[in-house]
Structure 1
Amino acid sequence: MRKILDDIKTRRTMTLVVIIGAVFYFAVDPATFPFMPQCVFHRLTGLQCVGCGSQRMLHALLHGDIAGGFRANAFVTISLPFVAFLLWVELNRERRPHLYRRVYSPVLIIATGVAFAAWMIVRNMLGI
């Protein structure tokens, strides 16, 4: 991952892709647009996966509707600051190697996996 992010052309391309994606999700409501990708896990099982509702959440957050984003997918909405922190840690890996090692420790990786699994179970048991 680090070598990919070192190339300035790659960083610019990734930034452009993120901006285009954000503009698209701002303009298009995934709940009503018929050509949005659907969750294969949900279609096969009828259960919600960890990411179900993320497209609607992104659309709501881009419109400043935090409550709507939370309703669409509470776990991912709450996780966004953590994801931003992980990106910052990755981009500052060489300057802060001790922080990188702590963040990507086996304990935190396992805890994240457990949180994902717990959210998937809870959201399906409660129907949220």
Structure 2
Amino acid sequence: MRGMDADRRDPPHPPARATAPPDRATARAVRLAAPAAVLAAVAGAFAYVGTVDPNEPGHYPVCPLLRFTGVHCPGCGGLRSAHAFVHGDLAAALQANALVVVGCLALAVLWTVWVVRAVRGRPLRIDLGPVHLWTLGVPVLVFTVVRNLPFGGWLHP
């Protein structure tokens, strides 16, 4: 009986090989994958908005807040602003929604910082405290209120 069990044993496994660490170029490519994917998505969205004119009715839904209340939200005119921005008309982009133009420029700076940190092998950390959130929120609130007052008509899209 014992001899039969010895014949049924599996042969010994070869020793496990240690995997070689990825080279620097591969590691850098892995770190840049997420920023590259975000850039591709944003470029695709801007390409679509640049191609399909939001000034022509029927291509995009109407802002529900504007439709039901007549109040312009902070994003109203954002697609028209992006369309003008893609076509290089900065004045029209600012007139459609200045907040979107400033936001796009701020996000471009943030994306650049992300890429630089990824190349250097450092993670992007964004720790927003209450002061930062108020610093971002108050201008958006002021922009929204002013554009809906009679003298803020120049901020309407």
Residue 40 (1) aligns with residue 67 (2): no
Match of 1:31 in 2: 55
User: Any unmatched runs of 5+ in structure 2?
Assistant: 1-30
Q: Deviations over 1:91-119 (max 9, x none)?
A: 5387377x844xx2320111111111110
Q: 1:69 to 1:112 in 2, by over 3 A?
A: same
Measure the CA separation in 1 of the matches of 2:126 and 2:110: 9
Q: How large is the RMSD of aligned CA atoms in angstroms? A: 2.8
**Which one of the candidate residues 67, 73, 81 is aligned to 1:49?**
73
Size of the alignment, in residue pairs? Answer: 120
Match of 2:91 in 1: 67
Identity %: 30
Match of 2:15 in 1: none
Q: 1:63 to 1:7 in 2, by over 3 A?
A: closer
Letter aligned with residue 95 of structure 1: R
Letter aligned with residue 23 of structure 1: A
After TM superposition, the score normalised by the length of structure 1 is 0.76
Measure the CA separation in 1 of the matches of 2:110 and 2:78: 19
Residue 83 (1) aligns with residue 107 (2): yes
Check whether the contact 1:89–1:100 (CA below 8 A) recurs between aligned residues. no
Q: 1:90 to 1:108 in 2, by over 3 A?
A: farther
Q: Which structure has the greater CA radius of gyration?
A: 2
